[in-house]
Amino acid sequence: MLTRTLPQFGSRRSIRIFERNLMVYRSQWLMLISGFFEPLFYLLSIGIGLNHLVGSVPVGGRLVSYATFVAPGMLATSAMNGATIDTIFNTFFRLKISHSYDAVLSTPLDVTDVALGEVWWALARASLYAASFIVCMVLLGDAGSAWVVLCWPAAILTSFAFSAIGLAVCTYIRSWQDFDLVTIVQLPLFLFSATFFPISLYPRWLGAVVAVSPLYQSAALMRGLSLGVFQWVMIGRAAYLAVLALVGLRLASNRFRRILTP
Amino acid sequence: MTAEPILQASDLVKRFGESTAVDGVSFSINSGESFGFLGPNGAGKTSTMRMISAVSQPTAGSLSVFGLDPRTHGPAIRGRIGVVPQEDTLELELSVRLNLEMFGRYFDIPRAVLRERTADLLAFTQLSERANDRVEDLSGGMKRRLTIARALINQPEILILDEPTTGLDPQARHLLWDRLYRLKREGVTLIITTHYMDEAEQLCDRLVVMDHGSIVASGTPRELITHHSTREVVELRFNTDSHDGYHDRLAPFAQRLEILPDRVLLYVDEGDETLRLIHQEDIAPMSALVRRSSLEDVFLRLTGRTLVD
Amino acid sequence: MSTPTDTRLGWSRWRRSWWYHATYYAQTWRGSVAGTVLFPIFYLAALGVGVGHLVSAHSGLVDGQTYLHFIAPSLLATTTMQLGEGESLWPVLAAVKWIRSYHAAAATPLEPLDILIGKLSWVVTRALATGVVYTIVIGAFGALQSWWSLVLPLIGGLVTLAFAAPFVAYAASVQSDASFIVIYRFAIVPMFLFSATFYPISAYPGYLQPVVQFVPLYHGVALARSAAYGQWPLLPTVGHLAVLLAMSVVGVLWGRRSLRRRLVD
B98, B106, B148, B159, best to mutate vs chain A, most A CBs in 10 Å: B106
The pLDDT assigned to B309 comes to: 47
Of A24, A99, A103, the CB nearest to B94: A24
Q: Which of B186, B203, B196 is nearest to B152 (CA)?
A: B186
Check A53 against C62: CB less than 8 A apart: yes
A1 CB near a chain B CB, below 8 Å? no
Give A56's strand partners: A65
Which partners does chain A have (≥3 C-beta pairs < 8 Å)?
B, C
- The residue of chain A nearest to residue C60, with distances taken between CA atoms, is A53
Query: In this structure, is residue A19 part of a structural domain?
Result: no
**Using CA atoms, how far apart are residues A168 and A259, in angstroms rounded to an integer?**
12
Task: Kindly tell me the burial class for residue C163, based on how many C-beta atoms sit within 10 Å of its own C-beta (0-12, 13-18, 19 or more).
Answer: buried
Please give the interface size between A and B, counted as residue pairs whose CB atoms are below 8 Å apart. 68
The alpha carbon of residue A4 is apart from the nearest alpha carbon of chain B, in Å, by 17
What residues of chain B lie within 8 A of the CB of A93, using their CB?
A: none
Half-sphere exposure of residue B127: CA atoms within 13 angstroms, side-chain side: 34
- Which residues, listed in sequence order, are joined to residue B192 by a DSSP beta bridge? B36, B161
Give the pLDDT confidence score for residue A1 in this predicted structure: 35
Q: How far apart are CA A157 and CA A123, in angstroms?
A: 9
Q: Name the residue among B157, B164, B110, B107 with its Cα closest to residue B141.
A: B164
* pLDDT confidence bin for A159, thresholds 50/70/90: very high
Of C39, C53, C199, the CB nearest to A187: C39
In this predicted structure, what is the pLDDT of residue B1? 46
- Please say whether the beta carbons of A198 and A207 come within 8 A: no
Position B279 pLDDT exceeds 80: yes
**Chains in contact with chain B (at least 3 beta-carbon pairs closer than 8 A):** A
The pLDDT mean for chain C works out to 89
What's the domain range around A186? 65-260
Q: How many CA atoms lie within 13 A of C100 on its CB side?
A: 5
CA–CA distance, A216 with A244 (Å, rounded to integer):
13
| Largest Cα span, chain B | 75
**A75 part of a folded domain:** yes
In chain A, the N- to C-terminal Cα span, in Å, equals 26
pLDDT of residue B159: 95
Q: Is there a contact between A41 and C30 if contact means CB atoms under 8 Å apart?
A: no
> How far, in Å, CA of C215 to CA of C219, rounded?
8
* Count of residues in chain A: 262
Confidence of residue A255 (pLDDT cuts 50, 70, 90): confident
Residue A109 to chain B, least CA–CA distance (Å): 6
Note whether A32 contacts B: Cβ–Cβ < 8 A: no
- Whether the per-residue pLDDT at B199 is higher than 60: the answer is yes
A128 with B175: CB under 8 angstroms? no
On whether any CB of chain C is under 8 Å from the CB of A29, the answer is: no
- Residue to test with chain A: of C174, C181, C202, C207, most A Cβ within 10 A: C181
Q: If you write DSSP's letter for every residue of B105-149 in order, what string do you get?
A: HTTT--HHHHHHHHHHHHHHTT-GGGTTSBGGGS-HHHHHHHHHH
Using an 8 Å CB-CB cutoff, list chain A residues near C51.
Answer: 50, 54, 196-197
d(CA A237, CA A215): 10
Q: Which of A42-51, B66-75, B131-140, B243-252 has the lowest mean pLDDT?
A: B243-252
β-bridge mates for residue B214, sequence order? B211
Partner residue facing A102 (CB), from B85, B91, B98: B85
Q: What is the pLDDT of residue C9?
A: 60
Does residue A234 come out as left (phi exceeding 0), alpha (psi in the -120 to 50 range) or beta?
alpha
Q: How far, in Å, CA of B206 to CA of B37, rounded?
A: 9
Q: What is the distance of C-alpha A36 from the center of its chain?
A: 14
What Cα–Cα distance (Å) separates residue C131 from each residue in B118, C77, C156? 57, 9, 6
Kindly state the percentage of chain B with pLDDT values over 70: 97
Task: Tell which residue, B142, B116, B117, B114, has the closest CA to residue B130.
Answer: B142
C1 pLDDT above the threshold of 50: no
CB contact under 8 A, A191 and C46: yes
Q: Where exactly does CATH 3.40.50.300 map onto chain B?
A: 5-225
CB contact under 8 A, C198 and A45: yes
Confirm whether A7 is domain-assigned. Answer: no
Say how far apart CA A92 and CA A85 lie, in whole Å. 10
CATH of B230-292 among 1.20.140.10, 2.40.128.20, 3.40.50.970, 3.30.70.980: 3.30.70.980
**A181 in contact with C at a CB cutoff of 8 Å?**
yes
Determine the average pLDDT of the residues in C219-247.
95
Q: Using the predicted structure, report yes or no on whether residue C259 has a pLDDT greater than 60.
A: yes
The per-residue pLDDT for B307 is 57
DSSP single-letter state for residue C188? I
The answer to whether C178 faces chain A, any CB pair under 8 Å, is: yes
Go through A32-64 and write b for each residue having 16 or more CB atoms within 10 A of its CB, e for each that does not.
Answer: eebbbbbbbbbbbbbbbbbbbbbeebebeeeeb
How far apart, in whole angstroms, are the C-alpha atoms of residue A161 and residue A218? 10
State the pLDDT at residue C71. 93
Whole-angstrom Cα distance, residue A238 to residue A250?
A: 19
Q: Using a pLDDT cut of 90, give the percent of chain C over it.
A: 58
pLDDT tens digits, C32-73: 777 788 888 999 999 999 999 999 888 888 888 899 999 999
Residue A26 forms contact with B (CB below 8 Å): no
The C-alpha atoms of residue C180 and residue C194 are separated, in whole angstroms, by 20
Which residues in chain A have their CB less than 8 angstroms from residue B94's CB? 23-24
The Cα–Cα gap between B190 and B3 comes to: 14
What pLDDT does residue B206 have? Answer: 93
- Let me know if residue A98 belongs to a domain: yes
Residues 65-84 of A with CB under 8 A from C: 66
Decide: helix, strand or coil at residue B154: coil
Which residue(s) pair with B206 in the sheet? B35
Per-residue confidence band for A8, with pLDDT thresholds at 50, 70 and 90:
low
What span, in angstroms and rounded, lies between the C-alpha atoms of A154 and A152?
Answer: 5
**Phi/psi of residue B206, each to 5°?**
-140, 150
- Taking only the tens place, the pLDDT of each residue in A116-142 is 888 899 899 889 999 999 999 999 988
In eight-state DSSP terms, residue C51 is: I
B89, B100, B160: best mutation site toward chain A, by most A Cβ within 10 Å? B89
What's B5-225's CATH class? alpha beta
Distances (CA, A) of A25 to A108, A140, B7, B24, C212: 23, 30, 40, 45, 34
A31 near B CB under 8 A: no
B42 Rama sector, left if φ>0, alpha if ψ -120 to 50, beta otherwise: left
Q: Residue B207 carries which side chain, given as an amino acid letter?
A: L
- The secondary structure of residue A96, as a DSSP letter, is I
The Cα–Cα gap between C136 and A199 comes to 28
Tell me which chain B residue has its CA closest to the CA of residue A101.
B89
Which chains have 3+ CB pairs within 8 A of C? A
Domain annotation covers residue A166: yes
Residue closest to B192 by CA, chosen among B230, B232, B162: B162
Torsion of CA C237, C239, C240, C245, to 10 degrees: 120
Q: Does A20 touch chain B (CB under 8 A)?
A: yes
Closest C-chain CA to A42: C193
3-state percent helix, strand, coil for chain B, nearest multiple of 5? 35, 30, 35
- Residue C2 is predicted with a pLDDT of 41
* Separation between Cα atoms, residue A236 and residue A213, nearest integer Å: 14
Q: So what's the pLDDT on residue A9? A: 67
Distances from the Cα of C165 to the Cα of C76, C162, C248, angstroms: 19, 6, 6
> What pLDDT band is residue A87 in, cutting at 50, 70 and 90?
confident
pLDDT at C237: 95
Most confidently modeled range among A113-127, A150-164, B182-196:
A150-164
CA–CA separation, A43 vs C218, rounded Å?
19
Question: Which of A19, A24, A262 lies nearest to residue B93, judging by beta carbons?
Answer: A24
Domains held by chain A: number? 1
Inter-chain contacts counted by CB atoms under 8 A, chains A and C? 107
Please check the confidence at residue B306 and state whether its pLDDT lies above 70. Answer: no
Q: Do residues A172 and A255 lie in contact, with contact meaning Cβ atoms separated by under 8 Å?
A: yes
Q: Examine the pLDDT at A223 and tell me if it is beyond 80.
A: yes
Q: Enumerate the residues of chain C whose CB falls inside 8 A of the CB of residue A175.
A: 28
Tell me how far apart the alpha carbons of residues C251 and C248 are, in angstroms, rounded to a whole number. Answer: 5
Q: Cβ neighbours of residue A57 under 8 Å, at least 6 residues apart?
A: A63, A64, A65, A66, A69, A197, A198, C54
Buried/exposed B41-52: b ≥16 CB within 10 Å, e otherwise = eebbbbbbbbbb
State whether residue A56 is helix, strand or coil: strand
Picking from C28, C46, C205, the nearest residue to A196 by CB comes out as C46
Is the CB of A49 inside 8 Å of chain C's CB atoms?
yes
Residue B24 has pLDDT above 70, yes or no: yes
What are phi and psi for residue C92, nearest 5 degrees?
Answer: -75, -40
Of B16, B55, B154, the CB nearest to A105: B55
Given an 8 Å threshold on Cβ–Cβ distance, is B83 in contact with A24?
A: no
- Shortest Cα distance, chain A CAs vs residue C54, angstroms: 6
What are the φ/ψ torsions at residue C5 (nearest 5 degrees)?
-100, 20
User: What average pLDDT score do residues C182-188 get?
Assistant: 90
Provide the pLDDT for residue A139.
Answer: 92
CB contact under 8 A, A110 and B98: no
Whether residues A108 and B85 touch (CB distance < 8 A) is answered with: no
Residues near B2 by beta carbon (within 8 Å), at least 6 away in sequence: none
Residues 6+ away with beta carbon under 8 Å from C263: C96, C102, C103, C106, C112, C115
| 8 Å CB contact of A191 and C45 | yes
What is the amino acid identity at position C199?
Answer: Y
